Structure 1
Amino acid sequence: MVKYDEGFKQNVVDAYLAGEGGYASLAIRFGIQSKTNIRKWVSAFQQFGKQGLASKKAITNYPVQFKLDVLNYKVKTGDSLEEVARKFGITEPPMILNWLRKWQNEGIEGLSKSKGRPSLSNESKRNKNEKKLTKEQQLLKEIELLRAENAYLKKLRASGVNIPSRLLKQNPGSFTNSEKQFKLAVILEATGFPKATYMYWQKRFNESNPDEEIEKIIQDIVDKHNGNYGYRRIDMELRKRGYIVNHKKILRITNKLGITCTSFTRKSRKYSTYKGTIGKISKNLVNRRFHTSIPHQKLTTDTSEFKYYTTDSDGKIIIKKAYLDPFLDMFNSEILSFRFSERPNAQAIMDALDEAIEITKDCPYRTTIHSDQGWGYQMKRYVRKLKDNGIFQSMSRKGDCLDNSPMENFFGIMKQEMYYGRVYKSFEELKQAVSDYIFYYNNERIKAKLTGMSPVEYRLHTSQLAA
């Protein structure tokens, strides 16, 4: 591997900064094997000056406390290696990653290990001291160590500090309590910790939690949305509230708090409205072109089946069914209208259609309403209603659910968040839950594709921009 001195690197950097050529041309001119070297030199010079061009041999050894400060900053902020290196004036960013790995695997002693064969003097001294102990003294010492282990090691973890897994055997309160009962030397021998490691974590446990405020806000978001938000949507919700937090830090906090997105899936027979050709089958005008920049231009509809449970006079459980007929705007995935009934019927579809038509009258273009080939959408009443209001009718191909994926997507999300894993004991209870969820879905539930807004927020926002 070719090595270059500082003077040579400086000449190359000066030539680049003077505009004498790019990385590739300067590599040929100076006989450098890879243009990547020049890119690194220029970046190091711009960040650290001449010190950035110094050879690795000229780099001084960093003290353990400095390494800990760097790692604490990296863990708390989530900044990249380059950003942390620039902050602390470190010329080799990969060095930080090496420190982090040693710290995670070996603790603080991993940051202070010197190269070469470890000294045997301490081990030999310890063995000599042990030989001087009588059998009775040795037994007393073992009893003391066992007592220390019971009081110190076998307590459950109660701290979220990112301690290396092999060191995390205690809770923060055990430090002070154990010191009152046992000598420090006994605790260190029982735990196998170096003194520096023990004192460092004792100091960390006494510090206040810097993330306490953001943890409370995250917990509030999760509780408000019934555990349906993962860390990505928590990130979007925090930004809406004016908190800019790195998404990796949010993930660490959710893991610390034991927060997981609770969604349930359960396979069941899909309700089908297809009864054959009983009326007119329209063409697939939408043809999976679901995107539109105009509100109320493209709507879609379908029917989905729900179940609830009641008991008869003998106490026997009876499974009953209910049906949801919504109309969804493809512009922002907003549910414009819906009906919830105890049986599939034409009147529920027509009532929801009438409401959707009334809402979409402000559209400057002709509206298209898409559906599958269900019997309700082939009815003469339905077809005539669309025609009388100048609305295009579009139908999916037979047996192809992907042709109506926006509606299928809504049903899937809805059932995961309010239906699967729950038992409803009456039609009224289920109807109220469906109504509440649709209001929540339209007005509060944020979506990534709507730039972190709810469907209604997005519609109002775009209308204000267009005004």
Structure 2
Amino acid sequence: MSKRTTDYTIDEKLKAILSVLDEKKSVSAVSRDYQIGKTTFKDWIRKYQSDGIDGLKESKTWKAYSQELKQQAVDYYLAGQGSLSETCARFNISTSSVLRRWIKRYTSGKDLKSTSEGNKKMSTGRKTTLQERVEIVQYAIAHDLDYHGAAEKYQVSYQQVYGWVRKYQADGESALHDRRGKSLSSKQNLTEVEKLKLRIKELDHRNQYLETENGLLKKLKEIERRARMRD
């Protein structure tokens, strides 16, 4: 069963979460029933346990993290002291996809920087074409709604990505058209070739995301194996 493409209400999120916490159903079963990505669902549960109903409300603002917190979280995870979800809960990180991005950056030899550094230029966003907006949305969705990562990758604002994703989930590609002028909207329809290329990119984004996740799991298992050998 494919994931649902429309947005979830607070009530729907809460009902799914309570199915696990109160009714003792498995995360896998509830994820399948509600057509939710398991990683996303685990983030909902963590946020609910930490902040209650307020934790289930989607933030429309960019959350800043210090360089020190990022490094501590990455070190904590790579040392095998907690899973992705446990690490996010310990360091109050918005989603596991954010943590994955830090780990990928760190393990590829790049420095971790405070979130606020270099992000002011993206606060007002930029003009984009319909094709860009569709690709940006597809990237965010493929990475379990990683608005931060999409904003960084495509040099647009967090607010733009958040708004585009919500529109796309509710009404599809047509909701991403620029409505500010008739002459603009008349030129915005994507050709079948463009749609096919975007679909291929969407699948590539998802494959890369899954490969990264599998790579991190393998790395963690190797760290745990070495730790056992030392003991």
TM-score in same-fold range (> 0.5): no
- Structure having the higher Rg: 1
Q: TM-score, normalised by structure 2?
A: 0.37
Structure whose residues are more often strand by fraction: 1
Q: TM-score, normalised by structure 1?
A: 0.21
Structure whose residues are more often helix by fraction: 2
